Amino acid sequence: MKKKLPAITLFFLSPLIAELLLSSAPPVEFFNPIMFVVLTVLYGGGAILIAANGTITVNGRIEADGGYRGGYRLGTCSSCGGGGSGGAIRLVAYTITGTGTLRALGGSGCFAEGNGSDGGIRLEAFANTFNAGIA
């Protein structure tokens, strides 16, 4: 848990600081637990690192997609916001295999505000037999 605490802290703290510095959201929104979670998930996709000494098998989906556009929160915005950028996925192992999907797409923007840019995916392996979708 000690290794996860800094990551969890940054996950919740970075949107708070960004919104307060940009003055795009009233500070009272952060004292509402539901709005705080909503604001947090509207940001970028973050980063995922999976490292193993042996084999990583991906038969499901690993996603680090950016958040969906902002909106008219509490009537304080005159327009919608852009989408959050996609995050990063990095797999490191001797062998990477599977038939799953890796995805780090940017979130949808609103009207002329624009979509978030796509993130990055990196596979590091001596034997890569990953035969699946990467978006």
Angle at 114 between CA 18 and CA 42, to 5 degrees: 40
Q: What is the pTM of this model?
A: 0.62
What's the confidence (pLDDT) of residue 26? 64
Pick the residue with more confidence: 13 or 102?
102
> Are residues 33 and 64 both part of a single domain?
no
> Are residues 57 and 26 both part of a single domain?
no
What's the confidence (pLDDT) of residue 83? 75
Question: DSSP assignment, residue 129?
Answer: E
> Are residues 14 and 64 both part of a single domain?
no
> Are residues 62 and 90 both part of a single domain?
yes
What's the confidence (pLDDT) of residue 96? 93
The rounded percent of the chain whose pLDDT value lies above 70 is: 59
- The mean pLDDT of 40-51, rounded to a whole number, is 73
Structure tokens at 132: 């699946």
> Are residues 29 and 72 both part of a single domain?
no
Q: Tell me the helix, strand and coil percentages in the chain, rounded to 5.
A: 30, 25, 45
Distance CA 40, CA 8 (A): 11
Q: How confident is the model at residue 92 (pLDDT cuts 50, 70, 90)?
A: very high
Task: Tell me the pLDDT tens digit for each residue of 57-81.
Answer: 999 999 888 776 655 554 445 556 6
Q: How confident is the model at residue 22 (pLDDT cuts 50, 70, 90)?
A: low
Sheet holding 95-98, edge to edge: 55-57, 95-98, 127-130
Lowest mean pLDDT, pick from 16-25, 54-63, 87-96, 111-120 = 16-25
Contacts of 128 (CB under 8 A, 6+ apart): 95, 96, 97
Q: Give the total number of structural domains in the chain.
A: 2
Please give the residue range of the domain that contains residue 104: 44-134
